[in-house]
């Protein structure tokens, strides 16, 4: 498990396939602010709620200069199903090797019902136009999280 990012850190570079298998890099968004959120699994209730909240607020976020990227360990095919089923508009990227999840401190030890295991830590990292971490939020809740981000960013 890697260390968590803090504001001022250089956001780790990445290139991952989207739901259509097209490579997307953080560098593609240089000069824009990017909200990168990490979630455990497509097509699950909490992750669906979070993705739908981001989609519902995408115009507002884009209007304030933010791009939104969701990253999970799912395969591109599953992300495509997720996007179609829920009519999602956010960019969904596949990180089956969990290398980007790890680089962002979004994969590690979790506890649930007294059991400890390795898994995705629901996290949101806001990257500024220069590629630096502006906000790093870990162990966030799926419900209400997007509204909190909008409030915290003053949008």
Q: Check if the beta carbon of residue 126 is closer than 8 Å to that of residue 134.
A: yes
Do 79 and 96 touch, CB atoms closer than 8 A? no
| Helix orientation angle between 145-152 and 45-56, rounded to the nearest 10 degrees | 40
DSSP per residue, 61-129: HHHTTEEEEEEESS-HHHHHHHHHHHT--SEEEE-TT-HHHHHTT-EEEEEETTEEEEEE--EEEEE-T
Tell me which DSSP letter residue 37 carries: E
Task: List the catalytic residue out of 24, 47, 68, 94.
Answer: 47
Known active-site residue 52: no
As a whole number of angstroms, the distance between CA 136 and CA 45 comes to 24
| Catalytic positions | 47
């Amino acid at each position: 498990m890697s260390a968590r990012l803090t504001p001022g850190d250089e956001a780790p570079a990445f290139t991952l396939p989207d739901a259509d298998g097209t490579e997307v890099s953080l560098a593609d968004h240089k000069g824009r602010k990017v909200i990168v959120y990490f979630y455990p699994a497509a097509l699950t209730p909490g992750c669906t709620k979070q993705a739908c909240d981001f989609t519902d607020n995408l115009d507002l976020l884009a209007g304030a200069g933010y791009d939104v990227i969701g990253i999970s360990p799912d395969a591109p095919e599953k992300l495509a199903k997720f996007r179609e089923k829920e009519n999602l508009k956010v960019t969904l990227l596949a990180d089956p090797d969990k290398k980007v999840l790890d680089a962002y401190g979004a994969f590690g030890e979790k506890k649930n019902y007294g059991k400890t295991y390795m898994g995705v830590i629901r996290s949101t990292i806001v990257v500024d136009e220069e590629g630096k971490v502006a906000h790093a939020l870990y162990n966030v809740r799926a419900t209400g999280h997007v509204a909190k981000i909008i409030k915290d960013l003053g949008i």
